[in-house]
Amino acid sequence: MDILKSFSLEGKVALVTGASYGIGYGIASAFAAAGAKIVFNDIKQELVDKGMAAYKADGIDAKGYVCDVTDENAVNEMVKKIEEEVGVIDILVNNAGIIKRIPMCEMTAEQFRQVIDIDLNGPFIVSKAVIPSMIKKGHGKIINICSMMSELGRETVSAYAAAKGGLKMLTRNICAEYGDKNIQCNGIGPGYIATPQTAPLREKQADGSRHPFDQFICSRTPAGRWLDPSELGAPALFLASDASNAVNGHILYVDGGILAYIGKQPS
């Protein structure tokens, strides 16, 4: 057996939702390096255009679609177009998501539902759209971008934690329901990643000191730093490739060791 060949995605079609930048872009770039054809979506044309420009600059031939992952009809239409224009989707990464950092008693039910809709209903809708063709083709890989909040709670993220906890269990249920169809559904739980969304939490304060949250995260992470989006690429590649055919219903935490660490004793 050629072990390295089992990691190849040559000729595979990979849909990474919300992959104009950040974590999704890092994962899609790794897939492209392994030979996959990349398709992605975002909610606005300007974001799709931004993503297309970035992929082109990196020498990646990607195709972008404007689509809201919470709109079932739009998702079905997008998947149909992808199948017609590129090919049947072999790999789905449910990456699109949002977070609202609002104390629970200050959060409206509408705000809570919005997070649940994008972060949990969206992966359900997109997975449901691609699974039938995966079954017909005889194989498929689904990777859900979960979170450490799939396991832990923290102040101000009640909706996000609820959604990501649900996504962990949706991952396991897809495994249970479609494992016998040669479909593997796993999750990745990123730690704290240096993306545009987290940039304000890493900015120097007016007095030159580090942001308190930046200090907190680095002290709670055995690696002692924020992770780079590119560091999710290889773990995602493993879960997208034939190398992980016997791995199903698993959440792979790529967190620099946070979940294994109780934290430093106060001095």
Helix axes 45-57, 22-33, angle to 10 degrees: 40
Active site residue 261: no
Query: Whole-angstrom Cα distance, residue 192 to residue 180?
Result: 34
Nearest CA to 123 out of 179, 169, 61, 178 is that of: 169
Query: Whole-angstrom Cα distance, residue 22 to residue 101?
Result: 19
Q: Which amino acid is at 156?
A: T
52 in helix, strand or coil?
helix
Residue 30 CA: distances (Å) to CA of 50, 63, 76, 96: 18, 16, 26, 17
Cβ atoms of residues 226 and 202 within 8 Å:
yes
Alpha carbons within 13 angstroms on the beta-carbon side of residue 162 total 15
Considering 160, 178, 192, 253, which one is annotated as catalytic?
160
Sheet containing 37-42, strands listed edge to edge, beginning at the edge strand earlier in sequence: 62-66, 37-42, 13-17, 91-94, 140-145, 183-190, 251-254
In DSSP notation, 231-267 reads GGHHHHHHHHSGGGTT--S-EEEESTTGGG---PPP-
The residues annotated as belonging to the active site are 160
